[in-house]
Structure 1
Amino acid sequence: MAELPPIAEAARRHDPDRFLCTLFAPPAKREAQWVLIAFNHEIARAREAATNPMAALIRLQWWRDAVEEARSGAPVRKHEVAEPLAAAIRAGALDPDDLLGMIDAREAETEEEMPSRGALLAYLRGTAGGYAVTSGRALGASPDSLPALQSLGAAYGMAGLLRSIPAMAMRGRSLLPADMLAERGLTPADAARDPRQKGIAAVAQALAAEGLGLLPPRRPGGAAALPGVLARRDLTRMARSGFDPAEPPRPRGLGDRLAMFWAGLRG
């Protein structure tokens, strides 16, 4: 197997699900998809890598400035992702407005808690949904397919959020909606402290069902829509009684990979 370019290797390491989807994109457009994955990883880890919310906002502003500078033709920042990102923007392969929208949506992660179910859905539509729209636009998706891609991306983001509950708890955080937790006598701090507490599984199952409802009746075609295959499989498992949100997620199995390969081959 040929050695991958550095940006592709970074995409595969940080986001193997979406990297696998890029293999079904036209070869000439894969590099921009890898850049998008790497960029998304950088802004997604802004809060995790920062010591406090203000530091996270500064990291997000750094990326906002990098996008604007790439659009304006200013000198490119020396960074392993900022440099290929600038090249993709200047080549017209990635839309800077879409990228800025993804950054803006990440600011919700700097808050102490996710206040409501509605706030969570808005966050998912802007983050994972924004990624799906940006990816689809870069691959030539028709404008009328973008709303479906955004909903599909939000569903994938919901599955990812639920899969991350144990890892978030280890960092003392929770993005489960405060209003849904309050209905069960819990707070986000309770969920962060111990996701095994009674009531948290019910919240997670309800959110999984909500995520399934985000999936469009007809999945759009193209590589940008392939994460929806994994979202449906993940959320279906999570919506069942017996789902334990405190258990670390299982690694991707053969069934998941075959389902996505089959969907990719069918276009």
Structure 2
Amino acid sequence: MNEAIAALVRRHDPDRFLTALFAPPDRRDALLVLYAFNHELARAREVASEPSLALIRLQWWREVVEGEKKRHEVASPLAEAIAAGELNPDDLLAIIEAREAEAYGDFATLSDWRGWLRAGAGGLAVAAAFALGAPRPAEARLFGAAYGAAGVLRATGVLAAQGTCLLPRDLLARHGLSAEAFVDDPASAAARGALDDVVREGRLLLAEAAKTALPRAATAAALPAVLARRDLARWPAVAIPRRLGDRLAVSFAAVSGQILPRA
């Protein structure tokens, strides 16, 4: 195992680090490199003072995926995994495109927002399933999108502190909110109402995912949905950091191969 990559993912994406531990040992490094890459894409928005600067950082990663050699603790193993056929560059480029949309943080409609979830968090799950050698990696998309919806909920306070709202304008308008008003007071009754709508969206994604015949090889890619289900069931009392029950639920799902209750 690449210890530096493993440490990075464990520190910055503990949920996916936990789920990656259940991947076959010969596939685990590629999965962790993928998750480290995803963290670097997320940082593009977090550290940039404006969208144009985030897009510059994302373009740097696009060039890496397209084959340009760059020395970097994540870019180098990423290039190696692509060259070895462990990661699909088309999957990675699709994730970058989703992050480009996220850089602006302005989704006009709920339909746009759903598309972003499926392309971003959902696309990451597809790339993870490919890394695991699953015969139908696209079957993991809904599991990843559900985790993405739950992730928006968990990150609400942090995002608001950064001046960011990743909820669609039409959903906010239902509750008499603008993005600016949401950021100003994410704990208001109106904001809670908007987040309750996000909970419903996440549950719909889980229900749809539960109908999917997921290949057993894709199990580790879909395991974050176990945590999403628990977060959505407990909202607004999500556990940060994760507790023993979360870890046990992931372990049981990994061993049994049953990610979600049967629809």
TM over 0.5: yes
CA–CA separation in structure 2 for the residues paired with 1:252 and 1:106? 26
CA–CA separation in structure 1 for the residues paired with 2:6 and 2:28? 9
Kindly report which structure 2 residues correspond to 1:159-198, keeping only aligned pairs within 5 A, or say none.
159-198=150-189
Name the stretch that deviates more: 211-220 or 249-258: 211-220
Contact 2:231/2:239 (8 A) holds in 1: no
Name the stretch that deviates more: 208-217 or 159-168: 208-217
Name the stretch that deviates more: 202-211 or 32-41: 202-211
Q: Deviations over 1:193-212 (max 9, x none)?
A: 11022211111112111111
Q: Does structure 1 residue 120 correspond to structure 2 residue 91?
A: no
Q: Does structure 1 residue 255 correspond to structure 2 residue 245?
A: yes
CA–CA separation in structure 1 for the residues paired with 2:220 and 2:105? 35
Q: Quick one: which of 32, 35, 51 aligns to 1:34? A: 32
TM-score of the aligned structures, taking structure 1 as reference length: 0.90
CA–CA separation in structure 2 for the residues paired with 1:259 and 1:62? 38
CA–CA separation in structure 1 for the residues paired with 2:124 and 2:104? 21
Q: Does structure 1 residue 158 correspond to structure 2 residue 149?
A: yes
Q: CA deviation at 1:218?
A: 4.3
Q: Does structure 1 residue 225 correspond to structure 2 residue 215?
A: no
Aligned length: 251
Kindly report which structure 2 residues correspond to 1:77-88, keeping only aligned pairs within 5 A, or say none.
77-88=70-81
Q: Residue 189 of structure 2: SS of its match in structure 1?
A: coil
Are residues 32 and 4 of structure 1, via their aligned partners in 2, closer, same or farther at CA, if it must alter by over 3 Å? closer
Q: CA deviation at 1:259?
A: 0.4
1:108 counterpart residue number: 101
Q: Tell me which amino acid in the other structure corresponds to 1:120.
A: W
Q: Deviations over 1:212-247 (max 9, x none)?
A: 111212462321111111111111222xxxx37xxx
CA–CA separation in structure 1 for the residues paired with 2:180 and 2:92? 31
Q: Tell me which amino acid in the other structure corresponds to 1:192.
A: V
Percent same amino acid at aligned positions? 50
Q: Residue 45 of structure 1: SS of its match in structure 2?
A: helix
Q: CA deviation at 1:249?
A: 5.5
Q: Quick one: which of 177, 198, 202 aligns to 1:207? A: 198
Structure 1 segments of 4+ aligned residues over 3 angstroms from their partners: none
Kindly report which structure 2 residues correspond to 1:4-15, keeping only aligned pairs within 5 A, or say none.
5-15=3-13
Q: CA deviation at 1:250?
A: 2.5
Q: Tell me which amino acid in the other structure corresponds to 2:233.
A: T
Unaligned runs of 5+ in 2: 258-263
Are residues 129 and 64 of structure 1, via their aligned partners in 2, closer, same or farther at CA, if it must alter by over 3 Å? same
Q: Does structure 1 residue 49 correspond to structure 2 residue 42?
A: no
Are residues 249 and 111 of structure 1, via their aligned partners in 2, closer, same or farther at CA, if it must alter by over 3 Å? farther
Q: Residue 199 of structure 1: SS of its match in structure 2?
A: helix
TM-score of the aligned structures, taking structure 2 as reference length: 0.91
Q: CA RMSD in A?
A: 1.6
Kindly report which structure 2 residues correspond to 1:59-98, keeping only aligned pairs within 5 A, or say none.
59-69=57-67, 74=68, 76-98=69-91
Name the stretch that deviates more: 190-199 or 36-45: 190-199
Name the stretch that deviates more: 96-105 or 196-205: 196-205
Q: Deviations over 1:41-71 (max 9, x none)?
A: 00111111112111111011000001111xx
